[in-house]
A and B are shown apart, each in its own frame.
Chain A
């Protein structure tokens, strides 16, 4: 005699779910939670936002013209020198001092930051667009893969800094004639930096696209007749967003450093147009007497790049689903 088997077995008590354990969470909220745990990344992000806002709205708060010459109050020291040297020439009209022509250092820092950040962002966006374009094309279309990757390898074996110097010195004159001294230089530096720094992005994006392309959802999209460009736009690009964002931060850092290096070597913006690299280069000759003129732009460049790098580190951790949630 056996007991009759119940037609529908009652669920085991321990395995019963009384509804979803936790409310559904969006991916970006998870990313944000993970990102917030990375203290360096948060600091970096705050500093980047602070610098960006500072250079955007700074000229409205500190309205002194960075190019205005005030020869009577030249070679002023920053306010903090008064703490240990009461005889130093300081004044609240120039809180960070002034240079050998009496131009205000604070106004120059803000204006220089504007130039550096603008070049950095624009060059980073350009190199992202080129890199993503090449990477997606090479990964998605098999025919283009070979030639495009050969091209990437070729660009990777170009000596970047020498070529940058060559290009900038060669094309300075025609572009200046067409777009004005500042506009021409901006276009030149952004293009040159963008063209020479897209290769890592292209390689990473191609690798990811190659892997994602073989997944079922792309096959499904293809089977209902989605066109290749729709597949790229709707299904592939959102999935490679995280490596693109990480390489965007790296690109911003390299673009800022490259622009400053060019200005430092004297092939950047015209001499009356302040950028961080140019301020640093101009101040090196007098750094024995006025070390702050080297320190201020140098610290500005270094902190910005440090912030961007930390931001990239945090983003990489936050966007990696294997690390997230641990």
Chain B
């Protein structure tokens, strides 16, 4: 298992390098010019100097190499510095001071380091997306279990129909729909997610909950729809197995048979599906974040795209790719750990 994990870990490095190279080369084709907004009165030689300052004078391969160095060497150093200086967990360690003022990936929009902006945006995304994923999983699993246990019952039929509907309605329709119903007609929840809101007391916590409910519901509907289908299918596969009959025959109670014997075996594929769904939910959150004006990383990507901010787009897309590769790896390793019948070696 360990050798398999190491091998996969090593294999993922060339994959990530290749993906980043493809994204970089794709972005090289971009027709936009970062100097387009500079006033026309600026003389061309000054413009050329500004271009050099943005790192655009070099050939593409050198630019790519510099980006790699900045992302994989400079940024980790800054992260370690931050860990040992300010963080709660490792702050007791002596300050490492690895970062010596090297150039970082700079956003063309704000001229500030891309990673700083990303780190500002990640908490909002994690709050909304992470919460919605947890809610979705918590709803999906009981529905899947019960509708498999009572196959073809009214509950199962209704559950299947609802998951099919949840599967089919796109988030850019459910979002506005919820806004019309709950913000406009009922006035229960705010239609815009206020990022500057701070949780200080009970009332502000309540407000935070209120503004989170709708985006979380929209995202959770998608998660629930997919996961409960998987859960149901996986439970159905296991419910007719011989070991279930054995468990019943030796006199175990029905709840133990279903909740321990069947559920544990059915969870094996479902856990990997849950792991695989994490990066997808980040991608899907782009639309939801746009609808509810959550300024997370999805919205950051959209604004960066429209503003032709290539370093930002490059880094964000790479982060998404990194998440996908990482969670693929986690899913495969989890599968091997949970199911001793799987042998990777």
CB 8 Å contact bits of B261-291 with A (1 = contact, 0 = none): 0000000000000000001000110110011
Residues of chain B lying within 8 A (CB to CB) of residue A193: none
Residues of chain B lying within 8 A (CB to CB) of residue A291: 180
Contact of B170 among A165, A170, A284, A302 (CB under 8 A): A302
Give bound CA distance, A62 to B287, whole Å: 33
Minimum C-beta distance from B22 to chain A (A):
8
Give bound CA distance, A153 to B16, whole Å: 12
Q: Closest residue to B181 on the A side, CB-wise? A: A291
Which one of A166, A174, A294 has the highest number of Cβ atoms from chain B below 10 Å of its Cβ? A166
Give bound CA distance, A306 to B29, whole Å: 38
Cβ of B169 < 8 Å from any Cβ of A? Answer: yes
B305–A174 touching, CB < 8 Å: no
- Chain A binder among B59-67, B97-105, B320-328: B320-328
A265–B170 touching, CB < 8 Å: no
CB 8 Å contact bits of B2-21 with A (1 = contact, 0 = none): 00000000000001001100
B301–A162 touching, CB < 8 Å: yes
Assuming the contacts A170-B30, A301-B170, asked whether A294 and B177 have C-beta atoms less than 8 A apart, the reply is yes
Contact of B290 among A167, A265, A287 (CB under 8 A): A265
Cβ of B143 < 8 Å from any Cβ of A? Answer: no
Q: Closest residue to A283 on the B side, CB-wise? A: B176
Assuming the contacts A163-B317, A257-B170, asked whether A288 and B184 have C-beta atoms less than 8 A apart, the reply is yes
Contact of A166 among B19, B161, B313 (CB under 8 A): B313
Give bound CA distance, A129 to B161, whole Å: 31
Give bound CA distance, A263 to B53, whole Å: 36
B124-163, CB < 8 A from A: 161
A281–B27 touching, CB < 8 Å: no
Cβ of A154 < 8 Å from any Cβ of B? Answer: yes
A169–B306 touching, CB < 8 Å: yes
A165–B164 touching, CB < 8 Å: no
- Interface secondary structure of A, over-half rule: helix
CB 8 Å contact bits of B169-211 with A (1 = contact, 0 = none): 1101100110110001000000000000000000000000000
Give bound CA distance, A287 to B320, whole Å: 32
Contact of A157 among B161, B169, B290, B324 (CB under 8 A): B324
Cβ of A253 < 8 Å from any Cβ of B? Answer: yes
Cβ of A55 < 8 Å from any Cβ of B? Answer: no
Cβ of B217 < 8 Å from any Cβ of A? Answer: no
Residues of chain A lying within 8 A (CB to CB) of residue B177: 294-295, 298
B173–A167 touching, CB < 8 Å: no
- Interface secondary structure of B, over-half rule: helix
Cβ of B110 < 8 Å from any Cβ of A? Answer: no
Residues of chain A lying within 8 A (CB to CB) of residue B290: 265
- B: contact size bracket: 35 or more
Residues of chain A lying within 8 A (CB to CB) of residue B302: 165, 265
Cβ of A14 < 8 Å from any Cβ of B? Answer: no
Contact of A305 among B30, B168, B317, B323 (CB under 8 A): B168
A310–B301 touching, CB < 8 Å: no
Give bound CA distance, A133 to B310, whole Å: 34
Cβ of A159 < 8 Å from any Cβ of B? Answer: yes
B176–A294 touching, CB < 8 Å: yes
Residues of chain A lying within 8 A (CB to CB) of residue B283: 159-162
Assuming the contacts A260-B170, A287-B176, A302-B169, asked whether A154 and B287 have C-beta atoms less than 8 A apart, the reply is no
Q: Closest residue to B16 on the A side, CB-wise? A: A157
Cβ of A126 < 8 Å from any Cβ of B? Answer: no
B320–A162 touching, CB < 8 Å: yes
Residues of chain A lying within 8 A (CB to CB) of residue B50: none
Residues of chain A lying within 8 A (CB to CB) of residue B305: 165-166, 169, 267
Q: Closest residue to A150 on the B side, CB-wise? A: B15
Assuming the contacts A162-B301, A162-B320, A294-B180, asked whether A154 and B19 have C-beta atoms less than 8 A apart, the reply is yes
A284–B176 touching, CB < 8 Å: yes
Cβ of B239 < 8 Å from any Cβ of A? Answer: no
15 contacts between A and B (CB under 8 A): A153-B15, A154-B18, A159-B283, A161-B284, A161-B286, A162-B283, A166-B27, A166-B305, A170-B30, A265-B290, A280-B176, A295-B177, A298-B177, A301-B170, A302-B173
- Beyond contacts A159-B324, A166-B23, A166-B317: 15 other A-B pairs, Cβ-Cβ < 8 A, are A159-B283, A160-B283, A162-B301, A260-B170, A260-B172, A261-B170, A265-B287, A280-B172, A284-B291, A288-B184, A294-B173, A295-B177, A305-B168, A306-B169, A309-B164
On A, residues with C-beta under 8 Å from B are 40, 153-154, 156-163, 165-167, 169-171, 173-174, 253, 257, 260-261, 264-265, 267, 277, 280-281, 284, 287-288, 291, 294-295, 298, 301-302, 305-306, 309-310, 313
In the complex, the 5 A-B pairs of residues with the closest C-beta atoms, listed nearest first: A159-B320, A298-B173, A306-B168, A305-B168, A264-B172
